[in-house]
Amino acid sequence: MRNHCFYGINTHKYDKIMPYKVKKKPYTNYFFSSSDGDTVEVFNNLISKKNVDKLQKQGGFCIVYTHFSQGFVNKDGEVNQLFKSSLEYLSTKDGWFAPASEILDYILEQRTNSINYASKFNLLMLDMRWLLSRLKKKLLFKR
């Protein structure tokens, strides 16, 4: 289940314990975080050339949350040009472009213990990082 959504391209930088379980929520298989790309403006900023290159240097990964109905196509049915050029640049990279479920399953397979419960401290730190991320986004995008 997607939980925290951060404003930054390296999702792993914000949430190093995902996927994780919460003991008080036994009916949820796992929680994970994502990077915020909720509108075309935020998405384009997220996957800018600078950010993609930074993510590649960091060796991280990005799970993007978005709504393609939020300005990605104009009233004439034309795809946003910056979005299109950003995806074209991204396609030149030697990355692993996969659904979130595949990425999360891969992470779980790499662990020595298959169940990773988040401690109260882990959850508090995620909440604090999320709050700071929301404030940054609010300052940048005025919303």
Residue boundaries of the structural domains of the chain: 2-141
Looking at the chain, the whole-number percentage of residues with pLDDT higher than 70 is 98
Whether 111 shows a pLDDT value over 90: the answer reads no
pLDDT band at 143 (very low <50, low <70, confident <90, very high): low
Q: How many whole angstroms separate alpha carbon 22 and alpha carbon 26? A: 7
Residue 5: per-residue pLDDT? 94
pLDDT of residue 142: 79
Alpha carbon distance 48, 89 (integer Å):
9
Distance, in Å, from the CA atom of 34 to the CA atom of 5, rounded to the nearest integer, reads 5
pLDDT 10s digits, 20-55: 999 999 899 999 999 999 999 999 999 999 999 999
pLDDT of 121 over the 90 cut:
yes
pLDDT of residue 114: 64
| Tens-place pLDDT, residues 63-89 | 999 988 889 999 999 999 999 999 999
